[in-house]
Structure 1
């Protein structure tokens, strides 16, 4: 494939309704920044855009919580997020905001273009309306009793107690959060994007054109949505906060935030072009532009299905890749803002980026650890002990150690200058390390091009590890003890020392180039110590072994990183626990008594919550997908069925007590979730090799727990 003429790289627009945590940082911003810095080092034409997402119901709801206005909320958090990204080295070409006039104009133009060409549908539906407030109610402006658990303050989109996704129509005794009154149903008109019209185009574009180069998790989610059948999606909603619908018969309506937010990439590009005197159009309309979206997995449907349809209909380019990441957990539990179990970017900055605590190098320390645990293919976990081990055991003990040892020995044994290389005494160890330096470039380059950032970083650190091994085998400090009567190092020995330190110094220069996309502050500091300009960091210099000139004086060594102390780790863990305890106490104080709703029959059984477990407890379970190939009743056992389950690599016999709920013939070819590491147990003389998962409904009947989409037998369930 030919190299694109230009690149447009985007990171998901963060909601300007609160602080953002390191899970967000790892999901969409650090991977994008690594890729962009690599492209810039390649001297490619690249624009990196992002900005604050400032519309939708989350903003006015946060304003109500803080007793202020939506405008004050977005102004407050936009500034905080922009500064956080800057402090942590995220190098956007522009960080814009969707409240700007240029964004409103761009979004309205987009809507008008689609509407005028008949690409939108108009429908009338009944929605909840607050007569006192004289407004239609978005789902978050409605509260009621959850039909699942009986919680009396569930929102119209989700119950925050049991986590069930809801619609306003499902709530029992709904009330408006604006007036406290019971809302009425009233007809309202809205515009819809008929995604169902574009299933064939999406299927061909995603599942055929990108079958080999997109991540499996992205392809899987897209296929699941398409196979289930796409439905028209509302483009407008009744709300007073957002981009106004540009039609005379749409008063009181705004464009839905899912429609407006991704257009923020386009409006940000326009603003960048105005700021720099460039033309924005080639970046969105020229087929020779490579568009890449960096997002978390919760945004896949918007960036891989909905926004591409919008772009396609507008004759814009569609994304070349969407390397979405999974989620990052924290100390054995899912990050949660509501439970205060999180590490905000601002908290890390406050605790580690002050000059006395390490300054900008500690931004790189966080970037390093997050990159090593990027959730590229599955959920990962941040722990403070893991952070300490990564910094102390890898950055300090391997990478920085090699750089520091080289500079210390150079000043001690070659007068602080780059020694010459004596070709007449080159040995196999010299040749091996030189070959490693030269071969690292294409290997790291390929990994970066394929968005495999963890593997690429491992290769960079491994290069330093090989440098340490080479130096340890050469032992220049031991050789330096071989002196003549005047105390001077023997000439033939000095030549060996020269060769060793010359190769090590050339490796140091290469390490700066390779580490630059990942740890930009570190690369810059290395350049300062080598007394070279940042131009040396250009990718064309990678793999070369004559970057530092013979006889050139270099600065005295400085430590690249400091160690993370045990006390710091303990402080951060305790801080997390205190935050969680405080959150629990506040929730208990604000908890409303839950009464059994009258519309739920008293015969229904609502199971009590079981004791809380830790992530490690859950991780012990090995859950696998299997397909039932045969089912029969167990003789003289009314409740037992004997099942043969295809687990991919093997067929297992499982005895299950579900005979009173299922006919054997109805189970054949059904996919189920199996607890695969349950100890075997004999039942009626039959050894059962696992357990299938079922769910008990309120009336006592069982249903199978099975995957929403067809999965390969043996697939792990997480």
Structure 2
């Protein structure tokens, strides 16, 4: 740390198109806050920068869904997101917005400097255009049928049912998300940044100079650079965003991934007139905390922008985390498969530190990890209640019972090896926690903190002061030994407050309150010492830091997720479920356009019997079925795996569209489609009332 005089810490700017969920917290916000709180405890000069990203396609899509304006959307979700972060103790020095004037000016000036230095290429290309709305369509504005799973509402950049990355050209029957019209190709002009020009510099600065970065970050960057970088458009056709500051750029805005990271700079400008000290002086340590989906932007594109512009420090590290899954499934905002932070705070008031602890304990630092409500309960009950809270509570109870509620003195003449071992244990723990935090190993640091509590419990159990005070005579005889034990336990408790503060700040303050010490005790230099609580000082009555979580509360959360899964059942047949806060679904299925009898007669509907069923590898929603239709046996891939176990449906009769053109799904040719009915989220096979011969026609 000696070579840096100041620290600039950023956390990814969340899109202001919805609330934040636990995946966001685990991905970057809790790790960033832990690191910042540690630096502040060390009295470092540190600024923690955050804010919302309020431009780009997700904002406008959310506005369309809610039948309102993009500005109304960002105003609504900025408050929800900001309130959630504040309630969770994410201690930003500033939480700004990219819609603010200072950001628009900073971004426009940044672009103009690069433009005037001749660092952009001007290119004409063909892009999809909506002739009804008279606008160019970004990939996210184009919907169609996914060629992989058959979802009829896949986006032009990704299918949110099967997760496959797409391009608009791959969609079957593409149409505009704005008007439902078939888009056409039109020529448009944009300004491109030739990233290939920065390859030699990136290889030297990043690949040679930052081999200490996390493997997932370094590996992804190396793959991109080794594959060869290409020019990337830094502008878009849109009316929502930062206008391109050029006279011939009507209807053009800056690409959201050009302006969003500049938001770190504009927010620092908003925070302090000394912003340049943090962004332009070489003795600043810049660290970006992000999720793995933002690695390329923060490690390749934004550093290249900073290098091209000149005058800015470059990131010293980008400790990106992997993804957090939920109950074995990928978190999905479109399917509402998430634990939303604002809802958690309503359901578990004053239990912010439980969530902070669990998310840090299971943080996806090196690989994707899973959050389950059962694990949440177990970690709270067994670790926070059974270990940390148990030690502090027992210490306070025994101190009040055996020492008159005051901090007892140390009696040197009766100290033993167990007493003498406390200080080295605390000093070793301090060093281990410090080393882990300096190297962004937050799970390891948290484990070391909890080990201190375990050592405290072990020490207390070995000394057994309650046995030494079993009778008044025994207590009088052993009071000096009892005093030594409880004095050491109180000093361990105070150290635990310091060690816990970066991870569980609300708990650290509770301990300070119990010990009647000011928050200044939480400064890092005080850790690993035995003079934190003063002899003879009266302390407050015991309180449990944590309490067990009732099974009913956990069941309610699991039931909520199960209801979400049931509501998402239509996604198995290609219709995405509504995201949180999306417009409510209609009560009845809207009728489709009238058809003629000849249209219906084209369908070859036959009854078949499922004779084999198995899950499709690496596809949670798909089952591979072998269906007997009398004259032959057909392979059919169906998105029903979330609703039926393979062994449950063997032998069932189904209705099959037998003359549907074959389509490959996950590399398997599907030769038909199973008809299903959906009843309040439950899928039901459409089959005859009585068993009939396989191959029987339906008319």
TM-score by length of 1: 0.80
Structure 1, 244-253 or 121-130: larger mean CA deviation: 121-130
Shift of 1:473: 0.7
Change (3 A) 1:405 1:282: same
Change (3 A) 1:614 1:95: farther
Query: What residue number does 1:639 align with?
Result: none
Query: What residue number does 1:460 align with?
Result: 449
Shift of 1:321: 0.4
Task: Verify the 8 A CA contact 1:332 1:614 in the aligned structure 2.
Answer: no
Once residues 483 and 161 of structure 1 are traced to their aligned partners in structure 2, the CA distance between those partners, rounded to angstroms, is 71
Query: Does 2:277 correspond to 1:292?
Result: no
Once residues 253 and 244 of structure 2 are traced to their aligned partners in structure 1, the CA distance between those partners, rounded to angstroms, is 5
Once residues 23 and 173 of structure 1 are traced to their aligned partners in structure 2, the CA distance between those partners, rounded to angstroms, is 33
Shift of 1:699: 12
Q: 2:371 aligns with which of 369, 373, 382?
A: 382
**Cα deviations by residue, 1:318-338 (Å, 9 ceiling, x for unpaired):** 100000000111111111122
Query: What residue number does 1:654 align with?
Result: none
Shift of 1:134: 2.2
Q: Map residues 151-162 of structure 1 onto 2, 5 A cutoff.
A: 151-162=151-162
Shift of 1:187: 1.4
Once residues 143 and 482 of structure 2 are traced to their aligned partners in structure 1, the CA distance between those partners, rounded to angstroms, is 76
**Cα deviations by residue, 1:10-44 (Å, 9 ceiling, x for unpaired):** 10000111122101111010000000000000000
Once residues 567 and 695 of structure 1 are traced to their aligned partners in structure 2, the CA distance between those partners, rounded to angstroms, is 40
Query: What residue number does 1:574 align with?
Result: 559
Q: Map residues 363-402 of structure 1 onto 2, 5 A cutoff.
A: 363-402=352-391
Task: Verify the 8 A CA contact 1:332 1:615 in the aligned structure 2.
Answer: no
Query: What residue number does 1:305 align with?
Result: 300
Change (3 A) 1:591 1:286: farther
Unaligned runs of 5+ in 2: 578-587, 593-609, 622-664, 672-699
Once residues 383 and 518 of structure 2 are traced to their aligned partners in structure 1, the CA distance between those partners, rounded to angstroms, is 27
Shift of 1:177: 2.9
Shift of 1:172: 4.0
Once residues 489 and 270 of structure 1 are traced to their aligned partners in structure 2, the CA distance between those partners, rounded to angstroms, is 63
Task: Verify the 8 A CA contact 1:506 1:545 in the aligned structure 2.
Answer: yes
Shift of 1:451: 0.7
Query: What residue number does 2:348 align with?
Result: 352
Task: Verify the 8 A CA contact 2:423 2:529 in the aligned structure 1.
Answer: no
Change (3 A) 1:153 1:4: same
Query: What residue number does 1:196 align with?
Result: 196
Shift of 1:188: 0.8
Change (3 A) 1:159 1:447: closer
Shift of 1:562: 1.1
> Which secondary structure state, in structure 1, belongs to the residue aligned with residue 317 of structure 2?
coil
Q: Map residues 201-220 of structure 1 onto 2, 5 A cutoff.
A: 201-211=201-211, 213-220=212-219
Query: What residue number does 2:638 align with?
Result: none
Task: Verify the 8 A CA contact 1:333 1:614 in the aligned structure 2.
Answer: no
TM-score by length of 2: 0.82
Q: 2:325 aligns with which of 288, 308, 329?
A: 329
Structure 1, 8-17 or 140-149: larger mean CA deviation: 140-149
> Which secondary structure state, in structure 1, belongs to the residue aligned with residue 344 of structure 2?
helix
Query: What residue number does 1:561 align with?
Result: 546
**Cα deviations by residue, 1:424-474 (Å, 9 ceiling, x for unpaired):** 221111111222012221111111111111111111111111111111111
Shift of 1:45: 0.3
Q: Map residues 242-321 of structure 1 onto 2, 5 A cutoff.
A: 242-273=241-272, 278-315=273-310, 316-321=312-317
> Which secondary structure state, in structure 1, belongs to the residue aligned with residue 407 of structure 2?
coil
Structure 1, 577-586 or 394-403: larger mean CA deviation: 577-586
Query: What residue number does 2:470 align with?
Result: 481
> Which secondary structure state, in structure 1, belongs to the residue aligned with residue 559 of structure 2?
helix
Alignment size in residue pairs:
598
Shift of 1:163: 3.4
Task: Verify the 8 A CA contact 2:4 2:285 in the aligned structure 1.
Answer: yes
Change (3 A) 1:519 1:590: farther
Once residues 589 and 267 of structure 2 are traced to their aligned partners in structure 1, the CA distance between those partners, rounded to angstroms, is 41
Query: What residue number does 1:603 align with?
Result: none
Once residues 619 and 75 of structure 2 are traced to their aligned partners in structure 1, the CA distance between those partners, rounded to angstroms, is 41
Query: What residue number does 1:114 align with?
Result: 114
Query: What residue number does 1:525 align with?
Result: 510
Unaligned runs of 5+ in 1: 354-358, 594-607, 619-693, 701-718
Once residues 616 and 62 of structure 1 are traced to their aligned partners in structure 2, the CA distance between those partners, rounded to angstroms, is 28
Once residues 507 and 591 of structure 1 are traced to their aligned partners in structure 2, the CA distance between those partners, rounded to angstroms, is 66
Once residues 545 and 304 of structure 1 are traced to their aligned partners in structure 2, the CA distance between those partners, rounded to angstroms, is 44
Task: Verify the 8 A CA contact 1:217 1:377 in the aligned structure 2.
Answer: yes
Change (3 A) 1:49 1:199: same
Change (3 A) 1:542 1:483: same
Once residues 480 and 435 of structure 1 are traced to their aligned partners in structure 2, the CA distance between those partners, rounded to angstroms, is 28
Task: Verify the 8 A CA contact 2:129 2:186 in the aligned structure 1.
Answer: yes
